Chain A
């Protein structure tokens, strides 16, 4: 009798906790179901794009979900029959070139603002931050006027110059450099390290995660950029991928299968980068809220 008492108490407690646990389990189960449904909705457009890109032209206009026979003809057509390889190369040059500049200059300015003492430091920082309030739309017209005047239209420099030192990158790198102790640089200074060496050899290796996030954002942002490349890269051989795709309908007379192949070729590299650098990208978004 006495021995059974704890069991009774335990049973009572369990009875009390059971509804709550059941409710919690229900919530977890429901979450899985809803998350899966949502995930299908998120994935479906990608899947549909890929499926359509493997269908022959005649099949794409039939009401069939899976391609009857897979064909790579659309991809062959996009790569050999259009300027797509040139657009791909242009996008790569612009994205890599801009990213290199972003990494170097944003880190340098971030370092200077975070660790050096000099007059008007706060003013300069506030001025750089204030550029974040100005929408790109407001700048493209003067940029275009400027580019026309200096012959930058239809050049790589013309495509790249607006994004060389973005304000959000300066802000991000300043945050990272501020976490480093100032003594570190004073010690280096006493050891006779040059001022540039303090930045390049002591500071920079310690802000790797910041550089990784910034570099990925700069690359993706420039890879995806549309408004400015549309304005400044008008000649067919100076188009980037997004501009090329949007001019595609004219060239291909809405051959949807070709457009879907070209879109796949534009999206897949970004998805691969995302899968590799998922952690850095998501941390970077949380930190800055910017996509490039």
Chain B
């Protein structure tokens, strides 16, 4: 009797050991992957940003924070930074507001809801490169469908002597004041479906009884939206803001391809941080400097995410 107790303990201990051993056997390849492909390169970015680039490590010269000092002064980088923030500031609220509006309307309609949802969602999963070429073609100054329609509209209005209401054909991608906005429209078009889908899921998660209770108390539709829908959607809003902001800060595919012969142009007005990094690293072989750019991008994403989580989570409490 007395001998079985330690024996059992030893056995259970060895079972636990066995389980841990198997866990680490299963995790062996993933641990190597994460160490070698994820963590080591992330650390290496910091390290590379301190040296001039050369294929032979022995020939790299230490510049310390020299590249970061250059970033503080480089006007092209500042332009890329400003543009990137503008992309985020335009596309995130616009796609969220439109997405929420569409989700609310989808909730109201009984028929065709899933068909509508599929149509709005489709652009989100299509390759951004192909999408950018299609929009680039539609935006084309001479042959694009949008300018063609604007001309047709002019001709139509002319018949009634209402030319004043017409809009001139636009240089959507070559007018420095318009190009960033034109790209933002494409991003919103592609991002919208994501917003619709998660807002619709969020709305469907709100118990109907809240609305009925509020309505009995005499709440107007606006009251319902403001005091029931919005507060209960808060977790969805947080989720969406964080994800779409991070995506906006990393814009690359669309910008490269929509204005392919003048990437980031006109006058760097569509240049994003990611494209600037790419041009410096692989166009000019300044990998050390480009690494410094990515470290800054990483810091921005980290700070923006933390601020947003802080700000938006506080509102949940009341």
Where the two chains meet, the residues of A that have a C-beta atom closer than 8 Å to any C-beta of B are: 23, 27-28, 30-32, 34-35, 38-39, 41-43, 45-46, 48-49, 52, 60-61, 63, 65, 105, 108-109, 111-112, 116-119, 121, 124, 127-128, 131, 133-146, 148, 161-162, 164-165, 167, 170, 195-196, 199, 220, 223-224, 226-227, 230-231, 241-243, 245-246, 249, 256, 259-260, 262-263, 266-267, 270-271, 274-275, 278, 281-282, 285-286, 289-291
Tell me how far the C-beta of A53 lies from the nearest C-beta in chain B, rounded to whole angstroms: 10
B27 close to A (CB within 8 Å) = yes
Contacts of A199 in B (CB 8 A): 26
Is A35 touching B106 in the complex (CB atoms < 8 A)? yes
C-alpha spacing A291/B114, complex, angstroms: 19
Residues of B close to A136: CB separation below 8 A: 250
CB atoms of A285 and B38 under 8 A apart? no
Known: A134-B38, A139-B42. A38 touches B102 (CB 8 A): yes
A116 near B194: Cβ-Cβ < 8 Å = no
Say whether, besides A145-B287, A162-B37, A118 and B30 are in contact (CB < 8 Å): no
The contact string, 1 if C-beta is below 8 Å from chain A, for chain B 97-123, is: 000001001101110001011111111
Report the minimal beta-carbon distance from A218 to chain B, rounded to whole angstroms. 12
- Chain B: residues with CB nearer than 8 A to chain A? 16, 19-20, 22-24, 26-27, 29-31, 33-34, 37-42, 44-45, 48, 55, 102, 105-106, 108-110, 114, 116-131, 133-135, 137-138, 140, 143, 145, 148, 151, 189, 192-194, 197-198, 201, 221, 239-240, 243, 246, 249-250, 252-253, 256-257, 260-261, 273-274, 277-278, 281-282, 287, 290-291, 294-295, 297-298, 301-302, 305
A226 and B251 CA atoms in complex are apart in Å by 11
Given contacts A48-B138, A271-B122, A289-B243, A137 and B250 within 8 Å (CB-CB): yes
CA distance in complex: A146, B45 (Å): 12
In Å, the complex CA distance between A277 and B232 comes to: 29
> Sorted from nearest, which 3 A-B pairs have the closest CB atoms?
A142-B41, A118-B20, A31-B105
By beta carbon, the residue of chain B nearest A138 is B294
Residue of B37, B114, B143, B305 ringed by the most chain A CB atoms within 10 A: B37
- Which residues of A sit under 8 angstroms from B116, Cβ to Cβ? 35, 39
For B105, list chain A residues within 8 Å (CB).
30-31, 34-35
Task: Report A-chain residues with C-beta under 8 Å of the C-beta of B239.
Answer: 289
Whether the pair A27, B257 counts as a contact (CB closer than 8 A) is no
How many angstroms between the C-alpha atoms of A41 and B273 in the bound complex? 29
A47–B198 alpha-carbon span in the complex (Å)? 26
Q: Which of A27, A116, A249 contacts B22 (CB 8 A)?
A: A116
Shortest distance from the beta carbon of B137 to any chain A beta carbon, whole Å:
5
Contact A256 B20 (CB under 8 A): no
Max chain A C-beta neighbours (<10 A), residue from B20, B105, B243, B257: B105
Residue pair A142, B201 in contact (C-beta under 8 Å): no
Would you mind naming 23 contact pairs between A and B with Cβ atoms under 8 Å apart? A35-B105, A39-B119, A39-B120, A42-B119, A45-B123, A45-B138, A49-B134, A52-B137, A65-B145, A121-B23, A133-B301, A139-B45, A145-B44, A146-B41, A165-B33, A241-B127, A275-B118, A278-B114, A281-B125, A282-B117, A285-B198, A289-B194, A289-B243
B126 to A271, Cβ gap below 8 A? yes
Asked if B137 and A224 sit within 8 Å, CB to CB, the answer is no
Q: Measured between C-beta atoms, what is the minimum distance from A21 to chain B in Å?
A: 13
The secondary-structure label for the interface of chain B is helix
Cα A84 to Cα B294 with chains together (Å): 32
Smallest CB separation, A43 vs chain B (Å): 6
Asked if A45 and B134 sit within 8 Å, CB to CB, the answer is yes
Given A138-B295, A144-B287, A274-B122, 8 further pairs, Cβ under 8 A: A31-B105, A118-B24, A135-B250, A137-B252, A142-B44, A224-B125, A282-B197, A290-B243
- Across the interface, which residues of A come within 8 angstroms of B124, CB to CB? 285, 291
- The answer to whether B278 touches A116, judged by C-beta atoms less than 8 angstroms apart, is no
Q: Are B23 and A256 in contact (CB under 8 A)?
A: no
The interface residues of chain B lying within 8 Å CB-to-CB of A128 are 34
B102–A291 contact, CB under 8 A?
A: no
Query: What residues of chain A lie closer than 8 Å to B252, measured between beta carbons?
Result: 137, 226-227
Give complex CA distance A146, B298 in Å. 20
By beta carbon, the residue of chain B nearest A195 is B22
Q: Of B33, B221, B302, which contacts A133 at CB under 8 A?
A: B302
| Chain B residue at minimum C-beta to C-beta distance from A217 | B125
Contact status A42-B123, CB under 8 Å? yes
Contacts of A281 in B (CB 8 A): 121, 125
Chain B residue, CB-CB nearest to A199: B26
Is the pair A245, B129 in contact by a Cβ cutoff of 8 Å? yes
Task: Kindly identify which residue among B20, B137, B221, B301 contacts A135, using a CB–CB cutoff of 8 Å.
Answer: B301
Q: Which residues of B contact A170 (CB under 8 A)?
A: 30
A45 with B131: CB separation less than 8 A: yes
